[in-house]
Structure 1
Amino acid sequence: MSSRALMTFKSHIEGKNADVAIYHDRIEWARGGYKGSLTVVRGETSHRPLVDWQPSVVHPRLGKGDTLVTGASAAPPIKALDRDGHVLTKEEYPSLGPVLDELRRRYGDQAGGKGGVELAVHHADANADGTGRADTPLLTLAEGRPGRLRTTFSARAQAAAEAAVRKYTDASVVAVRPSTGEILAVANHRSDGFDAALNGERAPGSTMKIVSAATLIDNGLTTANGAAPCPPSAVSLSQTFHNLKDLEPDEHATLSDSFARSCNTAFVKFADEVKPDTLTKEAQDRFGLGRNNWQIGVPSFDGRVPVADGSDKAAALIGQGKVQMSPLNMASVTATAMTGTFRQPVLVPLALDHREPARARGLPAGTVAQLRGMMNRTARSGTAAGVMAGLRGDIGAKTGSAEVDGEARSDSWFTGYRDDTAAAAMVQDGGHGIDAAGPIVATVLRNAG
């Protein structure tokens, strides 16, 4: 695009009551309720200014392969309500945009509404069978009549979650009610619009030690007060594992000691005593993870704990290797550890569309008592104490950081509970658990009740 063409483009935008700013390498504008920009580059051969064209030039919600469509809405609009009847909107709760779109696609016809005419983004990954992302409405051209859809969200918890994730880049959090499995809040702060809170697949780091500790206890390898020495390093086959910097070794540590201090080597030392599928079975049979059968009401990832051997088995015990989780998964893990009962998380009642929930055996009462004791100790005097300070009631927590290949800093993970609320957060490239994810979870727990 020549300089004259750029000026013509600018004039056209200005003619539509837009604010325009021109820089040496881009033009930015704001009109009609959204902001846009185009990047100007110099042609490799012509050396003239050219536009580095992206679909987002047309609209910021338009991605590669997406199209704009105008016509009758794919589903009637919905008025989504929280558990107390408060209306949930994208404007007030931006993180809920993708969730509300999906709820409309799935339940609009059942909620009693009437479709209208609208301009929407049809996403490239949308399929004829209803899988992929739901259309994103941009502009209503003819009003429909919204139906009413009750959800499990708590407007109070959602507001706290939204505020908490906005303080960090690439941050996600989920809160659930352990006694019922109801999802109270889902929030993301990401430039790519991806719902990592429900669909993220990342190594959970030491938050996975909740499942690993349950595995050791349930298989008779140790107990909370049993031996779990914390040496400075541990070797599994040819791979050497270390603890976080400045963590003092303790050859006389119990499992509770090593859990509260988040000692990696203590868990790695048990790798030779568990079978390749032991952790997998615990995750599936006790915590309901990794079977691809969760039915929460919208698409979600339900964790991955594959059978592992060799050094991968040791890595899995500390939430590394091929283990993958989302904040939703870890919030559910915490809820199961709290109550002993796996309750598949839900966003809308199962009876609404006769969904069959995922099921698992849950945990023995003795294991629950030990996990709660270790998580409470971690929150009161262990690695999570600084973050959880000031929270009253029945509390527990587990910190985590996960190394990711090719990234300079680890992902920050944190999960915790307070009374009948469990929450988990992940901040990509966020550092240690207490650096970013911890404050997010603490904020949600403080305001969710």
Structure 2
Amino acid sequence: MGKRGRVAERRKTRPAVVGGVIAVVVGGVGFGAYALYGGGAAADEGSSTSAAQKAKAVRTGPLSATEVRTTAEHFLTAWQQGKVTQAAAATDDSAAATALLTGYAKDARIKGVTLTEGARTGAKVPFSVKATVSYKGTSKPLTYDSALTVVRRAEDGKPLVDWHSAVVHPDLKDGDTLVTGESGTPPVTALDRDGGKITAAKYPSLGTVLDGLREKFGKTAGGRAGVELRVVRGTSSKSAKSSDKTLLELSKGTPGEVKTTLSPTLQAAAEQQVSERKRASVVVMRPSTGEILAVANTSHGFNTAFQGSLAPGSTMKIVTSTMLFEKDLTSPGASHPCPKKYKLAGWTFHNDADSEIKQGTFKMSFGASCNNAFINFAPKLSDSDLTKEAQQVYGLGLNNWAIGVPSFDGSVPVQSGAQMGASLIGQGGVRMNPLNMASVASTVASGVFHQPYLVSPTVDHRTLAKASRTMSSKTQAELKEVMQYTAAYGTAAKAMAGLGPGYGAKTGSAEVDGQKKPNGWFTAYRGDLAAAGVVQAGGHGGDTAGPIVAALLKTGG
């Protein structure tokens, strides 16, 4: 039968109403929906249609409200009715959609799905999900909110759901799956250093930390697994060190206990501090041991404090200064101007607000965070000097920290030319997070790198990372001198007021492409406490992250 015959035959099929859209269903595929999107008989004639006619038929431009509504309704109605093939066909990645939607019913054991569309905003359509999860005679209701976005397919202009796993559940990343069954990992009860119970309800920042503790210690902490619906991370999420996540408990297991080093006083204070600013993260630790006493983030979906990878700005000048002092290239009191501009390998570097120090010491440049007083040392350095300093003295960038939960250990790649110069001031390819920079301040305070940890290595007999060498007492004294000067008289003075004299600090501002304000950094120590924080897109570190860090050092612990 020719194509014209097939089209004529389809037209004899009675129309049905699906989600308020008239659609003709043939073999489980909505032909009427296809016609609605600009297809139909003429488009089905294939070879008899000229290229010019086809090009003319392709819709372009913004999606209409009708296109968004009908596409969303078609997808949501098919999903609710369990018509996986039809739902997947309404997306721009039918294979991935088919796999996840099939697993939604088969592996996650979710049934009785009711999807309720919310108020649309442009091409975005929010919706709520009500369903039931059942496993071996046990059932529990499941409710959550999600959203989809409609896009226009480039080749034919057809509106489709922009497919990502998060459409099915907002906690899913692409490649993740949903599974209901007996948990492979028993639950854990996390305790603070005083034996108090840690919960995400009490400390919202610790949700990802609790997930990480369960993944690491669940099988060895003495608990028994229960039955749950959980997110099982895929390859991409595992590469990002994301842990599996429990979404719904059908039956409770027996948790084991894991004691952490967290201070209840400091953790509560850290949660309060970050809640007062957008996109803030902070870590507090003990220099003499490496114990992590608090970790908090404004946003609770990703642990920036432990896993972030951000340019640290001028806080990196602590590591740079360590290198310069060890090489006897300068000293705190050495005369060293900071020019307004400095050219290196075709780049022109500027100081903040084009400031300069014509007749001053290195300590003054450190305290004022004057960039070019550091970059103009570049011709005297090899490309790998900063990388070696970070690795050998501060234990950074070796990917071998074992703190008890997933963490990023910093990165100081070998670079040349202008990029090497930028690295000296914490830009270029240098990447850190508050955990890394709190460790840097801790190393200065104690004179020795103690790998940070959240769970004592005696719990599982793991080996903590060690630095290959220790800075000299002379270098430590010089670092303390410049950091104390900064805390007393430099860019950190306002935040650190009243915390002296046994203290030191360094501010930082890291420029980010496309961001109006820089990320504000601050790291400091006081006695046997050290802390570091970042406020993304907040502005200067002394004004943004500085008050957070200073408040926690004042709290003590």
Residue identity opposite 1:305 in structure 2: V
Determine the structure 2 residue equivalent to 1:359.
Answer: 466
Q: Is the 8 A contact 1:228 1:267 kept in 2?
A: no
Structure 1 residues 259 and 27: alpha-carbon distance in aligned structure 2, compared to 1, 3 A threshold: same
Structure 1 residues 353 and 44: alpha-carbon distance in aligned structure 2, compared to 1, 3 A threshold: closer
Q: Which has the higher contact order (CA 8 A, sep 6+)?
A: 1
Q: TM-score, normalised by structure 2?
A: 0.72
Task: Indicate the SS of the match to 1:441.
Answer: helix
Q: Is the 8 A contact 1:268 1:317 kept in 2?
A: yes
Structure 1 residues 377 and 17: alpha-carbon distance in aligned structure 2, compared to 1, 3 A threshold: farther
RMSD value, Cα: 3.1
Separation of aligned partners in 2, 1:105 and 1:65? 19
Are residues 1:87 and 2:194 paired? no
Are residues 1:22 and 2:119 paired? yes
Q: Which moved more, 1:166-175 or 1:197-206?
A: 166-175
Shift, 1:195, TM fit? 2.0
Matches within 5 A, 1:299-378: 299-360=406-467, 361-378=469-486
Greater share of helix residues, 1 or 2?
2
Shift, 1:94, TM fit? 2.0
Question: Could you give the per-residue CA deviations for residues 288-331 of structure 1, whole angstroms, max 9, x where no partner exists?
Answer: 11222212122222222222322222111111111111211111
Separation of aligned partners in 2, 1:163 and 1:22? 34
Determine the structure 1 residue equivalent to 2:515.
Answer: 407
Q: Is the 8 A contact 2:146 2:169 kept in 1?
A: no
Are residues 1:168 and 2:257 paired? no
Q: 1:397 aligns with which of 496, 502, 505?
A: 505
Q: 1:75 aligns with which of 161, 178, 185?
A: 185
Question: Could you give the per-residue CA deviations for residues 133-187 of structure 1, whole angstroms, max 9, x where no partner exists?
Answer: 3210111111111111111111222222222223333332211110100111222
Q: Which moved more, 1:233-242 or 1:258-267?
A: 233-242
Determine the structure 2 residue equivalent to 1:180.
Answer: 289
Structure 1 residues 122 and 399: alpha-carbon distance in aligned structure 2, compared to 1, 3 A threshold: same
Q: Unpaired segments of 5 or more residues in structure 2?
A: 1-17, 22-69, 81-111, 131-140
Structure 1 residues 34 and 429: alpha-carbon distance in aligned structure 2, compared to 1, 3 A threshold: farther
Are residues 1:121 and 2:231 paired? yes
Separation of aligned partners in 1, 2:143 and 2:426? 40
Matches within 5 A, 1:237-248: 237-245=345-353, 247=355
Separation of aligned partners in 1, 2:405 and 2:497? 35
Separation of aligned partners in 2, 1:190 and 1:379? 29
Question: Could you give the per-residue CA deviations for residues 31-78 of structure 1, whole angstroms, max 9, x where no partner exists?
Answer: 879752435759789999986665445433233332221111121111
- The structure that has the greater radius of gyration is 2
Q: Is the 8 A contact 1:40 1:49 kept in 2?
A: no
Determine the structure 1 residue equivalent to 2:256.
Answer: 147
Shift, 1:409, TM fit? 2.8
Q: 1:66 aligns with which of 176, 186, 204?
A: 176
Question: Could you give the per-residue CA deviations for residues 214-252 of structure 1, whole angstroms, max 9, x where no partner exists?
Answer: 1111110111111221111111121111110163x2222
Separation of aligned partners in 1, 2:464 and 2:447? 17
Structure 1 residues 431 and 65: alpha-carbon distance in aligned structure 2, compared to 1, 3 A threshold: same
Task: Indicate the SS of the match to 1:245.
Answer: helix
Residue identity opposite 1:71 in structure 2: G
Separation of aligned partners in 2, 1:58 and 1:117? 21
Q: Is the 8 A contact 1:77 1:145 kept in 2?
A: yes
Are residues 1:219 and 2:219 paired? no
Residue identity opposite 2:358 in structure 1: E
> How much identity, in percent, do the aligned residues show?
49
Shift, 1:98, TM fit? 1.7
Question: Could you give the per-residue CA deviations for residues 252-293 of structure 1, whole angstroms, max 9, x where no partner exists?
Answer: 211110010000011111111222222222112211112222
Q: Is the 8 A contact 2:517 2:538 kept in 1?
A: yes
Q: Is the 8 A contact 2:317 2:426 kept in 1?
A: yes
Question: Could you give the per-residue CA deviations for residues 386-433 of structure 1, whole angstroms, max 9, x where no partner exists?
Answer: 222243562221110112234333222111122221111123322221
Structure 1 residues 190 and 272: alpha-carbon distance in aligned structure 2, compared to 1, 3 A threshold: same
Separation of aligned partners in 2, 1:292 and 1:143? 35
Separation of aligned partners in 2, 1:434 and 1:19? 47
Structure 1 residues 125 and 175: alpha-carbon distance in aligned structure 2, compared to 1, 3 A threshold: farther
Residue identity opposite 1:257 in structure 2: M
Q: Is the 8 A contact 1:2 1:49 kept in 2?
A: no
How many residues in Structure 1 have an aligned counterpart in Structure 2? 443
Q: Is the 8 A contact 1:182 1:345 kept in 2?
A: yes
Q: TM-score, normalised by structure 1?
A: 0.89
Q: Unpaired segments of 5 or more residues in structure 1?
A: none
Determine the structure 1 residue equivalent to 2:376.
Answer: 269
Q: Is the 8 A contact 1:38 1:53 kept in 2?
A: no
Q: 2:529 aligns with which of 415, 421, 445?
A: 421
Are residues 1:101 and 2:198 paired? no
Separation of aligned partners in 2, 1:289 and 1:264? 22
Q: 2:364 aligns with which of 245, 254, 257?
A: 257
Residue identity opposite 1:334 in structure 2: A
Residue identity opposite 1:158 in structure 2: Q
Q: Is the 8 A contact 1:413 1:438 kept in 2?
A: yes
Q: Which moved more, 1:339-348 or 1:180-189?
A: 180-189
Are residues 1:297 and 2:397 paired? no
